[in-house]
Amino acid sequence: MTKKMIEGFNDCAKEAKTTVTGGQSIMNPWPIIGGVANVVCDENEYIKVNQGQPGDLLVLTKPLGTQVAVNALEWLMKGDEKATKVMTKERVMETYYMAMESMSVLNLNAAALCKKYECHGATDITGFGIMGHAQNLVKV
């Protein structure tokens, strides 16, 4: 499993046109892999938070609801009935796999769309919900 994870990590770096230059190993009960991206660029080459302007298009880089899909699977695995109140077990699994697939794709297309439509602000939709991040896009 570890070999496949490292291969996938390297494949993703290659797709992003970068390289993996280091690493470390730690003892952990779960198989994990992660990385940090470093870049040097001009200020006009990236989009900052709190810079959204009236009339900007909203580019969603990933589908909304991935956290709910992960939670539903966790509930299902624990036998919690709220997992199947609105979806079948099969739909919970399908939704989870769709969420995982979307999170494993680079945002290259989204970055191109942001550039094409001259987006001024950017944020993610993790942790603070859509309302919290909508506020993050604008100067409040």
Residue of 76 and 47 predicted with greater confidence = 76
Interval 98-122 mean pLDDT:
86
pLDDT of 78: 94
List, for residues 109-118, the tens digit of each pLDDT value: 888 888 898 8
> Predicted confidence band at 125 (pLDDT cuts at 50, 70, 90)?
low
List, for residues 3-38, the tens digit of each pLDDT value: 898 898 889 888 888 888 877 778 888 878 877 777
pLDDT of 140: 58
Query: Is the pLDDT at 126 greater than 70, yes or no?
Result: no
Long-range contacts (CB closer than 8 Å, 24 or more residues apart) made by 105-112? 106/12, 106/15, 106/16, 107/61, 107/62, 108/15, 108/16, 110/59, 110/60, 110/61, 110/62
Q: What is the mean pLDDT of the chain?
A: 84
Query: Is the pLDDT at 139 greater than 70, yes or no?
Result: no
Three-state DSSP at 48 gives: strand
Interval 84-110 mean pLDDT:
90
Please answer whether residues 57 and 119 qualify as being in contact, where contact means their C-beta atoms are separated by less than 8 angstroms.
Answer: yes
List, for residues 69-84, the tens digit of each pLDDT value: 999 999 999 999 888 8
